[in-house]
Chain A
Amino acid sequence: MTFVLTEDQEMLRETAMAFARDELPVTRLRALRDDGKLGVDGEARGKLAELGFFGVIIPDEPGGEHFGLVGLGQILEAQGRSIASTPLLQTALIAASAIQLGGTEAQKAEWLPKIASGEATFSLALDEGSHHAPANVSTEAEKNGQGYKITGAKRYVPDAHHADVFIVVARTFGDAGQTHGLTLFLVPSNAERVSIQALNTVDSHGAAHVTFDGVDVSEDAVIGGVDQGWDVLEPVLDRARIGIAAEMLGASQAMFDMTLEYLNTRKQFGQLIGSFQSLQHRAAKMFTDIELTRSCVAAALAAVDEGGNNVGELASLAKARASDLVHLVSNETVQMHGGIGMTDDHDSGLFLKRARAQEALYGGASFHRDCYAKLNAY
């Protein structure tokens, strides 16, 4: 069954929900922000590692059991509920996927255990412009003896200000815009001639601009085939889109729960504001959208684990619908709270700011509507 969790997955979901509620509440993000931490939370990272959340899609042994992306999706949904800043998406999902899908045996042996234990964190250094455009890569990797020299700049790279290793998408052939000619490289963040400009972003999760100024890497650093990076990047991005959609679903549900509670407590005109039909209908529509999006996210997660051939389509479906959902719910949350929703003390603003970053990451709704149309040949 696609939509009913296994007992193990259900237990993982409960653990993750309880953990996010008790250990990663929104107050934690607020405190990180107020302390100028740019979303970096070493303590939370340690606890996530103890729980084994970094290795959810990595089998203990080659071919062994694991929870799959459905399992990781539950964790991401849970952390989405409190818009927690953690390395899970970049490391447990993106890096673990990239290395499993494209890595050599040596890379797998070196990195998968370090990912699973939380020892190494990663960051995908891909986009160079202000909109997600994964083939629009100008950063060059020039052949240099046995290795490569990477030159270029990546902008607003998530987690780049605290990751240990970058997965850099660089061009070894062709021109920006072409999918052929891309190559993925593992580059330590402390490598020479890498410069990292940490950014204080609106969502308090932080990010960084990263510049590669002739960075030397060896042949062993290549993930997947030279010039064939797209073959790894595309499925990895689809998974990332599904993962962030799960987070957005969690955030939307959390905002909705908060708003529903307010509708059931705040009184005006001697009535609970939740008894006004104009608000009831808007709440009912939001709930309908949440339920529909939940089905899309669940179907997309399951399709990855089942090795379905429609993952790209479902990824675009999940990401587009979750982006529209979190957009709507974040706006309605502020509106239905009235003046208090505009104050910094209230959580709705934190959710709203995070929502806009989530929407843009790995393609917004219009990007994915276009992908969906293209995949359906119109």
Chain B
Amino acid sequence: MAFGDTETLEDFRKETRAWLEENCPPAMRTPMTDNEIVWGGKRESFTNPDSKVWLERMGENGWTAPEWPAAYGGGGLSKAENKVLQEELRRIKARPALFSFGLWMFGPALLEFGNEEQKKRFLPDIVKGKTRWCQGYSEPGAGSDLAGLQTKCEDKGDHYLINGQKVWTSYADQADWIFCLVRTSTEKKHEGISFILFDMESEGVEARPIKLISGSSPFCETFFNDVKVPKDQLVGEVNGGWKIAKRLLQFERSSISAGGFGGTGGSGILGPDEYAKIHVGTDSDGRVADGDLRARIADNDMLRRAFFLTVQRSQEQAKAGMEVGHTASILKYAVAKMNQERHELMVEALGTEAFGWEGEGFDEGAMKATRAMLRAKGNSIEGGTSEINLNVIAKRVLGLREHQ
């Protein structure tokens, strides 16, 4: 279906509404559950078959990446049209068709820094959810000090040769391709880094899952042993990868903030106020009986509200052409605090009901809440630690000086 000839926004809304009515399967209008999230890629199993249909249809329209140019498989929509699309999706409570590092981080960076051929080659498969990407940034010796990375990339004439190790690579064992920071020169720290792409099935790539305190294994140690990479897969200039890396981190922080570490709604986990009412009990007015806990829940709810209002403010200001670059670190810092506190409050309100790990005898949602509390500890580490974000705010936003 072609939307290019739509004359006015209202027409666009009508067409969009009609299209969604017809094409969004009913099952895709119910709250998402954790095991039905679609990340795409070759290994995607589509636990719910309707989610496959939904992804195919959305991908065909380019509506998983509504504002990317149609030439690269995107929706080619204006900001205003995309706003309409998002409103219409929310109206029918449609699930996101695709969760994807490609959509959130890599794609936006490639649009800015990739050459024409790279954009044509990689972006359409991100839009359609055919390729799943992972992020090869952190190394054992280079976390917060990311530019200290050592993974070696040598020019071998007709190809590059990569040797080294990444760590904390989320979903490396599930991904098809990796966008990776490598060292192409040891002369300078930042100006010796390049941004390169390769297939995770390349000879010499190995991903070993690491188990988290929450019990799941969403990330890996990733080893590269004489991995050969074609030369046209380096993005931007040789030794010019750092600025791409930083830009991508901004996209990462913004996408984390926009989602607010939101969880999936249909996960069966209740809010802290609901757990408190059930497990702490209520007073004669039907209010949470423990006034201290109640106040702390309200405080966290307000932080949450303030956070989402700030996301909205920054989006409106960006649309009005105002500079909002500084908000990425502020929001990333705030969202980690908010989400960690919220999950701690759930566990506190659950009391002994939060002690379940696995097996029979526990409420499913409560067990998930406990694991979610543990998982949330990573919120202040992943995508740049809270300390690093505070450094960024202090130096780049507030203009405070470096210690001499």
Contact = CB atoms under 8 A, between A and B. Distances in A.
Interface of A: 1-4, 260, 263-264, 270-272, 274-277, 280-281, 283-285, 287-288, 291-296, 298-299, 317, 320-321, 366, 369-370, 372-374, 376-378
B104 to A, nearest CB: 23
Contact of B302 (A277, A298, A320): A320
A41 to B, nearest CB: 34
Interface in B316-333: 316-317, 319-320, 322, 327, 330, 333
Contacts of B294: 370, 373, 378
B276 interface: yes
Contact of A317 (B306, B391, B395): B306
Contact of A271 (B303, B319, B404): B404
A280 B395 contact: yes
A292 B303 contact: yes
B86 interface: no
A283 B400 contact: yes
A276 B403 contact: yes
A296 B333 contact: no
A321 B273 CA distance: 19
B403 A287 contact: no
A3 B312 contact: yes
Contacts of A293: 306
B310 interface: yes
B334 A288 contact: yes
B401 A275 contact: yes
Nearest to B291: A370
B306 A264 contact: no
Contacts of A2: 312-313, 316
Contacts of A3: 312-313, 316-317
Given A280-B398, A284-B397, A378-B297, 16 more contacts: A2-B316, A264-B400, A270-B404, A272-B400, A281-B394, A283-B400, A284-B391, A288-B334, A292-B306, A296-B302, A298-B309, A370-B295, A372-B298, A373-B288, A378-B273, A378-B294
A2 B317 CA distance: 10
30 contacts: A1-B316, A2-B313, A2-B316, A3-B312, A4-B317, A264-B399, A271-B403, A271-B404, A274-B400, A280-B390, A280-B394, A284-B390, A287-B393, A292-B306, A294-B313, A295-B309, A296-B309, A299-B313, A317-B302, A317-B305, A317-B306, A320-B302, A369-B295, A369-B298, A370-B294, A372-B298, A373-B288, A376-B273, A378-B274, A378-B276
Interface in B266-314: 273-274, 276-277, 286-288, 294-295, 297-299, 301-303, 305-307, 309-310, 312-313
A295 B403 contact: no
B330 A275 contact: no
Interface string B2-24: 00000000000000000000000
A369 B317 contact: no
A70 to B, nearest CB: 13
B320 A1 contact: yes
Which of A283, A284, A291, A320 is most buried by chain B, counting CB atoms within 10 A of its CB?
A284
A135 B38 CA distance: 53
B398 A283 contact: yes
Contacts, number: 133
B399 A4 contact: no
A308 B295 CA distance: 25
Nearest to B333: A288
B310 A295 contact: yes
Contacts of A287: 330, 393, 397-398
Which of B297, B312, B393 is most buried by chain A, counting CB atoms within 10 A of its CB?
B393
Contacts of B313: 2-3, 294-295, 298-299
Which of B387, B400, B404 is most buried by chain A, counting CB atoms within 10 A of its CB?
B400
B358 interface: no
- Specify the main secondary structure of chain B where it touches its partner: helix
B187 interface: no
Contacts of A283: 394, 398, 400
A287 to B, nearest CB: 6
B306 A272 contact: no
A284 B398 contact: yes
Interface in B53-77: none
A170 B402 CA distance: 60
A295 B309 CA distance: 6
A366 B404 contact: no
B307 A292 contact: yes
A372 B297 CA distance: 10
B394 to A, nearest CB: 4
A303 to B, nearest CB: 11
A275 B400 contact: yes
A1 B303 CA distance: 22
Nearest to B274: A378
B310 A292 contact: yes
Given A3-B317, A274-B401, A378-B288, A369 B390 contact: no
Smallest CB-CB A-B distances: 5 pairs: A280-B394, A284-B393, A295-B309, A378-B273, A3-B313
Nearest to A373: B298
A376 B295 contact: no
A80 B312 CA distance: 25
Contacts of B399: 264
Given A3-B313, A295-B313, A373 B306 contact: no
A285 B393 CA distance: 9
Contact of A277 (B276, B305, B391): B391
A281 B330 contact: no
Contacts of A276: 403
Contacts of B333: 284-285, 288
Given A280-B391, A283-B398, A373-B297, A378 B277 contact: yes
A299 B312 CA distance: 10
A295 B324 CA distance: 13
A285 B394 CA distance: 9
A280 B287 contact: no
Contacts of B320: 1, 4
A281 B390 contact: yes
Nearest to B308: A295
B334 A292 contact: yes
Contacts of B286: 377
Contacts of A288: 330, 333-334, 393
A358 to B, nearest CB: 18
A191 to B, nearest CB: 40
Nearest to B307: A292
A182 B286 CA distance: 26
